[in-house]
Chain A
């Protein structure tokens, strides 16, 4: 079986071959690029995440408006092929700067990003497979997990208080060993450090993951792999507001924008622990009133297919009803330890039985 690297090289080469062959037969080459327009992004009930539909656009070499995009795509393809061959990676920003030396130009990084995505969906590969990495690092991981990056073994319990940082090249990381039963991911680094200080990793036999807001692609890939390969349940604990809900949901069901790679990023079995609207009531948490934009967002979520199960519908409606939101750190009202001593045990108990 070919590894991901070999598949990527084969697919890139195939794109060039197709064009050469068409031209040799005096046919006008056409590249089919699956459409990423909203009408072609479909929520797949079975897979429980967004996928791309059947629609595609055609880039014809006989079309004045499309031909430049073909040239741009081929340039990026060669750039990626070189990266993969030499086992290197580059960020999208680096790609944009490298393109300055090419015979075709990009108006801005936005344009080169889009053509890069075109190449991803055309070949059915992720950007990481093509050697293109996101700018940002992934989340912080703390707990009894040993991984290997190249020649180096890293234990996430011995990587300092800030933990092991998930690299953009997470697919090249090998999981060697672990001694945990679950993963708890939290939205803020504040909460992460609270859990580390209170030794929550020990108390709950858990990995602690600090998401740093919206989860990066590498983080989502990490959680997916931990869930798939190590069979560990994933629990997410965020702020109790529409934005916290959605950070969780993107981990669970993927984003519409990355519909073409969601099968590698979404973790449909991950669970949202809190803070829920019910938690706000049950634990009598300090709150802020919902702002107009919060209310608008909550109503949007109600219409989103990803939120269609009863749990979400109930919690969103409840939050709209009480008109209040709460941050996850608001538990400190009852003392710094409360969240680890009381809240998490109660919630884990509830969700695991």
Chain B
């Protein structure tokens, strides 16, 4: 039987974001038992860190993971951030795409799916409500509320089931969620490793984690410096698309193309607009809302032929060499460490980024597999650990394509070595929606290599000096072993008394040491 369009479209309905993600949860990163739990940790920790930093508070996070059945866990996550005002709690935890992150700004997360995604997963796998406790200041007064919430997926809104006032000691948010179909693992992709890496990228934080066996891990704060808040920076002309321009034109209060461009883009002076006028046939006195797609395309094309100053980089906040070293020292207690924060560069002509690299060698550096320490590469994007899809990531590739033998590492797989790479950018070029690997932009790849080489060279010096010291000790031992024997045997042979040979022993040891230090440097 043939059906008319009208009939068909009776079934047509709008899908809310919550409904969409309920059906496509892998797009939130919730695929696989281990990965799902790691993603929950990621979302909650990231939010806590962001909130504390924005409020100027040194983050202190307490996490307690209880196992109540096979693949069934209760997670309690508590921070000391500014808290969330009562009215906003359902929005933050039960509405997708709520938040303040749709700006051209360097941030940990970028989707605004974080907390509500976790609540969604909890609700989908257990049917249990989320319990949120929030303590915050209002008009200088400390207030507290505890509520249990469910998500109305159809409306993309929260439903408050219960609510009570509490008397808090300090600000902060506490989240309690039930999960099934997740699993806690100590593997490289597991939740524990995620926390460990978070601590290296965020030495100003403190995390106390109690694992399902009841074991308590305290990751101590290594630095008391709260990172400055990143500032929003205007997009660079080389970094925009025709669609971006149309969007800007629709939402601007400027009255001409000319002023739209200078106010919405960085490095766009009136002189540059004049240059642009010569390159195109567009009337730049037109009103922005009249901008056509063809005009937008023409402008983007013209941008490609123009010279611009590199984008401003004040919006990029790297972790910083010293902070990285502090974080790695605290967690890895290595015998040697070197870190670098490189100068900002751009990829795709207009997106600024900074690469930070570090190596830690010896001590607890490297991943312990059985008795042996294996090299681990820790990747970060804006301080956030990237734990999945290592193989396809530009950061991994940049590190692995170095000739490590040149730097004294004979076998890159099996060395007590932790390699740290952080990419800082307003717009990190992820390869896929999971946001776990970086696209191989040539500029990024090249810069990762440069940064890694820089720290690897220092490592090489250390390894060489260590070898030399070992060799020196070995040599001294050789002399101390054999000279007394030779003197004794020579005396017997000559039928004479042994002379005092201490001065000679000193002499040869000194000489051997000088020889060792004088060895040509093959750098």
Contact = CB atoms under 8 A, between A and B. Distances in A.
Interface of A: 12-13, 15-17, 19-20, 23-24, 26, 28, 61-62, 64, 67-68, 70-71, 74-75, 77-78, 81, 103-104
Contacts of A16: 489-496
B475 interface: yes
Nearest to A17: B494
B486 A20 contact: no
Interface string B473-502: 011001100110111011111111011010
Contacts of B501: 23
Contact of B489 (A17, A67, A71): A71
Given A64-B478, A103-B485, A20 B490 contact: yes
B507 A64 contact: no
A67 B491 contact: no
Contacts of B475: 64
13 contacts: A15-B493, A16-B491, A16-B495, A20-B487, A23-B501, A23-B504, A28-B507, A61-B508, A67-B486, A75-B485, A75-B489, A78-B493, A103-B485
B486 A61 contact: yes
B482 A20 contact: no
Interface string B313-339: 000000000000000000000000000
Given A17-B496, A20-B490, A78-B493, A67 B507 contact: no
* Contact residues of A: prevailing secondary structure: helix
Interface residues of B, number: 26
Contact of B493 (A23, A64, A67, A77): A77
B478 A68 contact: yes
Given A16-B494, A20-B494, A62-B508, 14 more contacts: A16-B490, A16-B492, A17-B493, A19-B490, A20-B487, A20-B496, A26-B503, A64-B479, A67-B479, A67-B483, A68-B478, A71-B489, A77-B489, A104-B482
A20 B479 contact: no
Contact of B495 (A13, A28, A61): A13
Contacts of A70: 482, 486
A81 B482 CA distance: 21
B492 A78 contact: yes
Given A13-B494, A81-B493, A74 B486 contact: yes
Contacts of A103: 485
B512 interface: yes
B499 A23 contact: yes
B405 interface: no
B511 interface: yes
Given A13-B493, A16-B492, A67-B479, A62 B511 contact: yes
A101 to B, nearest CB: 13
Pick the most buried of B474, B493, B501, B503: most chain A CB atoms within 10 A of its CB: B493
Contacts of B511: 62
A64 B512 CA distance: 8
Nearest to B489: A74
A19 B495 contact: no
Contacts of B507: 26, 28, 62
Contacts of A71: 482, 485-486, 489
Contacts of B479: 64, 67
B489 to A, nearest CB: 4
Contacts of B487: 19-20, 23
Contacts of B503: 26
Nearest to B501: A23
Nearest to A60: B508
A273 to B, nearest CB: 47
A123 to B, nearest CB: 12
B467 to A, nearest CB: 15
B493 A104 contact: no
A12 B494 CA distance: 8
B483 A20 contact: no
Nearest to A19: B490
Enumerate the 10 nearest inter-chain pairs by beta-carbon distance, A residue then B residue, closest first: A16-B493, A16-B494, A74-B489, A19-B490, A24-B499, A62-B508, A17-B494, A16-B490, A67-B482, A71-B482
Contacts of A26: 503-504, 507
A68 B507 CA distance: 17
B499 A20 contact: yes
Given A17-B496, A28-B507, A28-B508, A74 B478 contact: no
A74 B490 contact: yes
B482 A68 contact: yes
Interface string B402-415: 00000000000000
A15 B512 CA distance: 25
Nearest to A102: B485
A103 B485 CA distance: 7
Contacts of B494: 13, 16-17, 19-20
B495 to A, nearest CB: 7
A19 B494 CA distance: 9
B183 to A, nearest CB: 55
Contact of A67 (B478, B492, B499): B478
Contacts of B483: 61, 67
B468 to A, nearest CB: 14
Contacts of B498: 20
A56 to B, nearest CB: 20
A31 to B, nearest CB: 11
Nearest to B496: A20
A75 B482 CA distance: 12
A61 B479 CA distance: 8
Nearest to B476: A64
B490 to A, nearest CB: 4
Nearest to A81: B493
Contacts of A104: 482, 485
Pick the most buried of A26, A70, A71, A104: most chain B CB atoms within 10 A of its CB: A71
A81 B492 CA distance: 10
Pick the most buried of A24, A26, A28, A61: most chain B CB atoms within 10 A of its CB: A61
Nearest to B516: A64
A15 B496 CA distance: 12
A160 B494 CA distance: 47
Contact of A12 (B485, B491, B493, B512): B493
A81 B489 CA distance: 12
A86 to B, nearest CB: 15
A344 B487 CA distance: 61
A199 B499 CA distance: 66
B507 to A, nearest CB: 7
A16 B493 CA distance: 5
A74 B493 contact: yes
A78 B489 contact: yes
B317 to A, nearest CB: 53
Nearest to A75: B489
Contact of A20 (B474, B485, B491, B508): B491
Contacts of A75: 485, 489
